[in-house]
Amino acid sequence: MTCCEPVAGQSLLDLTFAGLERALVSAGLPAVHTRALWRALHHELAAELPARTDFVPPLQRWLREQVGEGKPFTVAMPTQVADIASGDGLTRKFLLRLADGQTVETVLMAYDGRHTACLSTQAGCAMGCVFCATGQMGFVRHLTPGEIVAQVRHVQLAQRTAGKPGLRNLVLMGMGEPLHNYDSVMAALEIISDRRGLNLGPTKITISTVGVAPGILRMAEERRPYQLAVSLHGATEEERSALVPASRRWSLAELMAACRTYFAQTGRRIFFEWTLIAGVNDSTAQAGRLALLLAGLDAHVNLIPLNPTGGFAGGPTQQAAAKAFQAVLKDAGFPSTIRQRRGIDVAAGCGQLRAEKTRASGGKPAA
């Protein structure tokens, strides 16, 4: 079964435009009606499709007969469990409950007048990065395309209700490893970037990966038009695999070879993420090794002082050491940004809100 075959109770949000068209045509409807339904779903963000009276009668009938509880299709939207704003008002974090009770986090950030949503791609994560709250909880399951699309809808609707502008940017930096859930993520991004619907420009969408080398190569081969960010955190095999266990599966050498192939095939800048942990990976010598590793690439480094988590003893690098690290990169010709640890009062690190809610409910997933 592929992600987009119509099966009982499948969410219409799982379907790409072509998938929705196939579903209508196989029910005997003309393909031309796809556009109106797509617009209602992904542009108007309508929820009550079977009640609509403005579609052509055959489409209205199909919706009444096929969409709803106990019918072949649904429009599955998650339930909001928490909606917490940071003290500075610039970050809003949603905890969303999916149909099977799993919870995922979606974050809305409003910096410099640009609205960015940070999406989850899995419940939990199998990669086990030692400093990450999601890694500490382990892998639960992949999200479907519709569950990823629904997070964007949720944020867009929240913005609309608050009279705020729509989203401009998306980052896949919430819970989970996007390239471990490749097919669902790519289907979701095709839906989200479709100009007839949510219409988020592909170059405004960033996929962040722990370094799944085969996924990076596949993105290049398939000419996926999204931005790529690679989480490094260490510039030698030994230092990296102490923080990122997945590095034993896809070594640093294999990862950097994939990045070079990606760059050669796409000509695109690659973003590299480096979580700065005091006394662990924040020396100027380590910055020098990072610069050597990146030689020849068009690279931008995002330096993220650690958000402390329950399961890891390390602390964040202080500003002066972060600046010294940055200066070494600059001397080697690499631009970098030190990310503010904003919204820390809303447990801004990936997976931290779910972890907190799970602890508060005695170890069961937040309900």
Q: Which of residues 181-220 bind ligand SF4 (CB under 6 A)?
A: 210
Task: Tell me which of 200, 213, 304, 355 binds ligand SAH, using CB under 6 A.
Answer: 304
CB 280 within 8 A of CB 325: no
> Active-site residue 350, yes or no?
yes
Task: Tell me which of 306, 328, 355, 366 binds ligand SAH, using CB under 6 A.
Answer: 306
175: three-class secondary structure by DSSP? coil
Comparing CB distances to ligand SF4, the nearer of 62 and 131 is 131
- Choose the contact partner of 288 out of ligand SF4, ligand SAH, none; CB within 5 to 8 A by kind: none
List CB contacts of 17: < 8 A, sequence separation 6 or more. 34, 38, 191, 194, 196, 197
Hey, which residues does 110 pair with through a beta bridge? 115
Binding of ligand SF4 at residue 230 (CB under 6 A)? no
Task: Tell me which of 235, 350, 353, 366 binds ligand SF4, using CB under 6 A.
Answer: 350
Identify the CA nearest to 220 among candidates 272, 185, 187, 262: 262
List CB contacts of 164: < 8 A, sequence separation 6 or more. 110, 115
Which of 125, 129, 259, 350 is labelled catalytic?
A: 350
160: three-class secondary structure by DSSP? helix
Binding of ligand SAH at residue 173 (CB under 6 A)? yes
Identify the CA nearest to 208 among candidates 241, 238, 240, 175: 175
> Active-site residue 4, yes or no?
no
Q: Which of residues 232-271 bind ligand SF4 (CB under 6 A)?
A: none
Identify the CA nearest to 14 among candidates 146, 138, 121: 146
Binding of ligand SAH at residue 131 (CB under 6 A)? yes
Comparing CB distances to ligand SF4, the nearer of 16 and 281 is 281
Comparing CB distances to ligand SAH, the nearer of 156 and 307 is 307
Query: What is the spatial distance between Cα 116 and Cα 205, in angstroms, rounded to a whole number?
Result: 9
Query: What is the spatial distance between Cα 285 and Cα 90, in angstroms, rounded to a whole number?
Result: 35
DSSP conformation class of 113: T
Minimum Å gap between C-beta 134 and ligand SAH is 7
**Strand pairing of 79-85 and 91-97?**
antiparallel
Task: Tell me which of 15, 24, 127, 207 binds ligand SF4, using CB under 6 A.
Answer: 127
Query: What is the spatial distance between Cα 134 and Cα 361, in angstroms, rounded to a whole number?
Result: 17
> Which of 127-135, 138-146, 185-193, 355-363 is the region at the interface with ligand SAH (rule: CB under 6 A)?
127-135
> Which of 95-103, 130-138, 283-291, 359-367 is the region at the interface with ligand SF4 (rule: CB under 6 A)?
130-138
Burial environment of residue 44 by CB neighbours within 10 A (0 to 12, 13 to 18, 19 or more): exposed
Which of 105, 177, 239, 273 is labelled catalytic?
A: 105
DSSP conformation class of 277: B
Comparing CB distances to ligand SF4, the nearer of 40 and 127 is 127
Binding of ligand SAH at residue 21 (CB under 6 A)? no
Point out the residues that are catalytic.
Answer: 105, 350
Interface residues toward ligand SAH, by CB under 6 A? 129, 131-132, 173, 177, 208-210, 231, 273, 275, 304, 306-307, 309, 349-350
Interface residues toward ligand SF4, by CB under 6 A? 125, 127-129, 132, 134-135, 176-177, 210, 350
